[in-house]
Structure 1
Amino acid sequence: MNFWEGIDNELLGKNYTCGYCGCYVGSEKGYEGIYRTSPEKEVEISIYVCPSCGNPTYFDKDNRQYPMSKAGNDVLHINNKDVENLYEEARNSFSVNAFTSVALCCRKLLMNVAVHLGAEENKTFIFYVEWLDKKNYILPNSKKWVNQIRKIGNEATHEICIVSEDDAKKTLIFTEMLLKIVYEFPAMAE
């Protein structure tokens, strides 16, 4: 079903991962426009319509995609809504280039996971990281990447800085792995 009016069905085909449904698609349907960078120079911009979900994806003059696809993967068997919602919030923040928000969500997520697993509430952030470590939720060879979540999250919280896309992606991937260790892998073994 096509609910877009005046859609151009003959655009140059473009493959991309849809930021809405997560499908890798190829589309030739959408809208083209011209962006004037100066009186002498024009750049094509475009909006492609996802053939899977029907939502629009904008490609700017530098071919950057909006919304970007979510970083990270789904984590199965998270049995706490706050933890699940924070992880999705972090992934959604990444898709709209809110990289500092990703780091802040992942930092808060570590605290929520610890409390959900039995740690006492209203403690410091480092208390929760140490609690997860003492209870063996942080594997010996994963302490370095949990420390990266802590470090990047602390910088976002306590310093005047903007988190880079690379640091946000790294933080999100490390958080995903921790969630898989805590929730997904144990449920698969049952």
Structure 2
Amino acid sequence: MSNWWIMWICYTIQKRGSGIMVLWGEWVDVDRMDPCKYQCAHCDALVGPDSGYLCDRHGGALGKVYICPNCNRPTYFEMSNDRTQIPSPRYGNKIEHLPEEIEKVYTEIRDCMSHQLYTAGVLLARKLLMNIAVDSGAKEGESFVTYVNFLESEGIIPKDGKDWVDAIRQAGNIATHKIPSINQELAEDIVTFLEFLLRIKYEMPGRMARK
């Protein structure tokens, strides 16, 4: 059996551990290479492994595959193209203690941002706010405005955060009904606000509950 076939088997057999997908197995015939510091797209950890696989031609490295020491999953670097990382790391930061459905939408937003899909990310931002409202006790099937009013009345959206929610509403209307796409700066600002909101609503209470 070839090494690449063994690698594929190792890649497809997985187990869940510590909230991330961790590969269950051992990579075969890995090479020792210069350490490479990067953010793993699979588990969000900042790592610096020194083992993996090298694609070499006439003594020059064309590509490298590093194995994350945290989740044991591979990341490919295209050395001839300004060290392009595949898969690229997700935009923004991982938030702890999120409900499953809200974490799923937030992760999808981060994936959109990583692939420059800013309009899609902003549309998902509206969905995320609606999901937060329902998770906080609002009825399902209501309008976006109803959910925003609910979040404000419950104090989930801080007083100084109303302008940001309005920006999400307006950006979503532009993405849905008008031709111009959402620009990168606006999308990044919206995701930064969402990250702040999720930390206040879920992560900080979750941390306190563990103490």
- TM-fit CA distance, 1:102: 2.5
Aligned pair 1:173/2:192, yes or no?
yes
The count of aligned residue pairs is 180
Taking a change above 3 Å as real, the CA distance of residues 170 and 68 of structure 1, as seen in their structure-2 partners, is: farther
- TM-fit CA distance, 1:98: 4.1
- TM-fit CA distance, 1:21: 1.8
- TM-fit CA distance, 1:15: 0.7
Aligned pair 1:124/2:143, yes or no?
yes
RMSD: 3.2
Aligned pair 1:26/2:48, yes or no?
yes
Taking a change above 3 Å as real, the CA distance of residues 175 and 55 of structure 1, as seen in their structure-2 partners, is: same
Partner Cα separation in structure 2 for residue 50 and residue 165 of structure 1: 29
Partner Cα separation in structure 2 for residue 162 and residue 34 of structure 1: 41
Which shifted more, 18-27 or 164-173?
A: 164-173
Aligned to 1:75: 96
TM-score in terms of structure 2 length: 0.67
- TM-fit CA distance, 1:187: 5.2
| Equivalent of 1:16 in 29, 38, 45 | 38
Partner Cα separation in structure 1 for residue 62 and residue 38 of structure 2: 17
TM-score in terms of structure 1 length: 0.73
Aligned pair 1:54/2:72, yes or no?
yes
Q: Secondary structure at the match of 1:115?
A: helix
Aligned to 1:65: 85
Partner Cα separation in structure 1 for residue 102 and residue 156 of structure 2: 15
Is the 2:75–2:85 contact (alpha carbons within 8 Å) kept by the matching residues of 1?
A: yes
Consecutive unaligned residues of structure 2, counting only runs of 5 or more, are 1-24
Task: Tell me the amino acid that sits aligned with residue 53 of structure 1.
Answer: C
